[in-house]
Amino acid sequence: MSERLAGREYGEETIEVVLKQLKRDNYLSEQRYAEAFLRSRMKRGEAPWLAAQKAMQKGAESSVLHAVLAEVSEDYDDEQVCRELLDQRDPCGLRFDEERVWQRQARFLRNKGHNSATILRVLKQR
């Protein structure tokens, strides 16, 4: 945040005051950022561990991220998420008829961070 404000040519004193005010009012919270980032990524179908890894790349603190990850992962069902993603991408069940479609769906789920055993189990279910 301080880099962005500095890029807009604000003085150091102004930036310091603004950051203190934001932290005091809880608008600038590492935990809120980590939770929002994880939830938005998981809503798109990403596995929690992959979402957490991307959050760390974006600069989230690992200690805060691990706490939020534990909280968010409590009600996470990997198999259900895979099933929902497949229902959206392949509502007609083409993966059962064409090997190429099956492989494409498996790659898609793998790129979302889901484990191979779950992917195979879900892809075989009709």
Share of the chain above pLDDT 70, in %: 100
Instruction: Tell me, yes or no, whether 60 and 86 share the same domain.
Output: no
Same domain, 97 and 44: no
Cβ neighbours of residue 72 closer than 8 Å, sequence gap 6 or more: 35, 38, 39, 42, 48
- The CA–CA distances, whole Å, from 109 to 15, 35, 54, 100, 106 equal 43, 23, 17, 14, 5
113 in the same domain as 63? no
Count structural domains, the chain.
2
The answer on 105 and 46 residing in a single domain is: no
Torsion of CA 32, 36, 39, 45, to 10 degrees: -150
Shared domain for 68 and 82, answered yes or no, is no
30 and 63 both lie in a single domain:
yes
Query: Mean pLDDT, the chain, as a whole number?
Result: 90
How sure is the predictor about 98, in pLDDT bands with cuts at 50, 70 and 90? very high
Same domain, 41 and 85: no
Contacts of 49 (CB under 8 A, 6+ apart): 69, 113
